Amino acid sequence: MPEEVTNDILLCSETGSGTMPGIKELTDHILTALDGRENGPWKGIPDEIFIATMGAFSRFVNEHYVSYGNYGFDRYFWTTRQANAKLFRIGELEYELVDEKPGSADIHIPSDASLLPDKLNDSVSKAKTFFSEFFPEKKVERFVLDSWLLSPELKKLLPESSHILHFQAAFDITESNPEPNGFLEWVYKIPGSRLDNVDFESLSEDTSLQRNMKAFLLQGGKIGDACGILSREFM
């Protein structure tokens, strides 16, 4: 973790002041992961993947600061996956094994991921090798993504040269839903706890995507999300 985040965590732990929300859950999940590294499901997994996956904890603490103005940890509903070796950061992307989805792995896109095709293809190639070597019984044959980045509405807002549209082109869309508003958290850094009461007029306009999306939303448009199966290389 960055030094300032680590110091904040240590201060909260030593004083019991509670100045960092979620400190107990953060500590519990990190200790679970470390224990699993020694005696559990993380044992034997390459250091590079373990360390990259654990980067989610500092990333989420820093994202809390961006959203709320103070360090905190509110993603404990999610990081049970990292702590228990169900989700792995391999290069740019994360991959999750879901027991209810035999033969597939869910793709997740970290906020610091690059959408450059060479890096994405490298990630997928390494993920295939990883699962065949460490989880052969899972027989992972397909990768599935459910994300706002696959929303068909983005074609109305972005130029053909957009990295996001090139990213979309690698997937065969299986379904889409215009209603979810989770994209606001990633595009505008609005925390998940505040997504139900967003004033579109107040949305920032620092990037072309933010500007185009804001205008679209003010006109009654919806972004939503979509689900797709990775079917070809990223270009």
Q: Which of 212, 197, 104, 99 is nearest to 155 (CA)?
A: 212
Upper half-sphere CA count for residue 57 (Cβ side, 13 Å): 26
What pLDDT shows up at residue 18? Answer: 52
What pLDDT shows up at residue 155? Answer: 97
Report the C-alpha gap between 61 and 66 in whole angstroms: 9
What pLDDT shows up at residue 192? Answer: 85
**For residues 105 and 89, is the Cβ–Cβ distance under 8 A?**
no
- Alpha carbon dihedral 185, 191, 193, 196, in 10-degree steps, equals -50
Residues 199-222: pLDDT tens digits?
999 999 999 999 999 999 999 999
Residues 91-135: pLDDT tens digits?
999 999 999 999 999 999 999 999 999 999 999 999 999 999 999
Q: In the predicted model, what is the mean pLDDT of the chain?
A: 92
Residues 163-202: pLDDT tens digits?
999 999 999 999 999 999 999 999 999 988 889 889 999 9
Residue listed under structure tokens 């989880």: 135
- pLDDT band, residue 73 (cuts 50/70/90): very high
pLDDT for 83 beyond 70: yes
**For residues 105 and 143, is the Cβ–Cβ distance under 8 A?**
yes
Mean pLDDT, rounded, for 76-93: 97
Least confident of 67-71, 78-82, 118-122: 67-71
Tell me the percentage of the chain whose pLDDT exceeds 70: 92
What pLDDT shows up at residue 196? Answer: 87
What pLDDT shows up at residue 14? Answer: 42
Comparing 13 with 199, the larger pLDDT belongs to 199
CA distances from 83 to 51, 54, 61, 76, 86 (A): 12, 8, 16, 10, 8
CA distances from 76 to 23, 47, 89 (A): 10, 23, 17
Does the pTM exceed 0.85? Answer: yes
CA distances from 81 to 77, 91, 145 (A): 9, 17, 16
Mean pLDDT, rounded, for 13-33: 80
**For residues 26 and 82, is the Cβ–Cβ distance under 8 A?**
no
Residues 146-169: pLDDT tens digits?
999 999 999 999 999 999 999 999
